[in-house]
Amino acid sequence: MQPRTGAIPTARELAAATPATRDRYIDLLRVASLAVVVLGHWLMAAVTADGKVGNLLAVVPRLQILTWALQVMPVFFFVGGFAHALSYRSRPAYAAFVRGRVRRLLRPTALFAAVWGAVALAVQLAGAGGGLTGTALRLVTQPLWFIGIYLAMVAFTPPLLRLHRRWGWGAFAALAGGAAAVDGLRFAAGVPYVEFLNFALVWLAVHQLGFLRADGRLGAPWALAGAGLAGAVALVAFGPYPLSMVGMPGEKVSNMAPPTLALLCHGVWLVGAVELLRGPGTRLAARARVWRAVVAANGVAMTAFLWHLTAMLAVYGALLALGAPLPEPASAGWWAGLPLRVAAAVAVTALLVGVFQRAERPGARRHPAARGDGAGGTPEASGAGGAGGPADTAGVGGTSGAAGAVGAGHAGGASRATGAPGAAVAGGPGARGAAPLAVLGITLSVLGVLGLSMVGYGGLLEGRAATLIAFPVTAPQALALTLAGWLLVELRR
Task: Say whether pLDDT at 5 is over 60.
Answer: no
How far is 392 from 408, CA to CA, in rounded Å? Answer: 16
Considering Cα of 14, then 19, then 24, then 26, what sign does the dihedral take? negative
The pLDDT, as a whole number, for residue 363 is 54
Lowest model confidence (mean pLDDT) among 250-264, 392-406, 455-469? 392-406
The pLDDT, as a whole number, for residue 467 is 81
The pLDDT, as a whole number, for residue 102 is 87
The pLDDT, as a whole number, for residue 376 is 33
How far is 259 from 200, CA to CA, in rounded Å? Answer: 9
pTM of the model: 0.85
Please indicate whether residue 419 or residue 143 has the higher confidence score (pLDDT): 143
Average pLDDT over residues 369-391: 33
The pLDDT, as a whole number, for residue 1 is 52
The pLDDT, as a whole number, for residue 237 is 96
Q: Tell how far CA 162 is from the center of its chain.
A: 23
- Long-range contacts, 377-383 (Cβ 8 Å, 24+): 377/90, 377/91, 377/405, 377/419, 377/421, 377/422, 378/421, 379/91, 379/93, 379/96, 379/97, 379/99, 379/100, 379/425, 380/100, 381/100, 381/405, 382/100, 382/101, 382/103, 382/104, 383/103
Task: Say whether pLDDT at 385 is over 60.
Answer: no
Cβ partners under 8 Å of residue 473, min gap 6:
447, 451, 454, 455, 465, 466, 467
Lowest model confidence (mean pLDDT) among 48-52, 231-235, 258-262? 48-52
Average pLDDT over residues 261-280: 97
> In sequence order, what DSSP letters do the residues of 8-26 get, joined into one string?
PPPHHHHHHH--TTS-HHH
The pLDDT, as a whole number, for residue 492 is 62
Average pLDDT over residues 89-94: 83
Task: Say whether pLDDT at 2 is over 90.
Answer: no
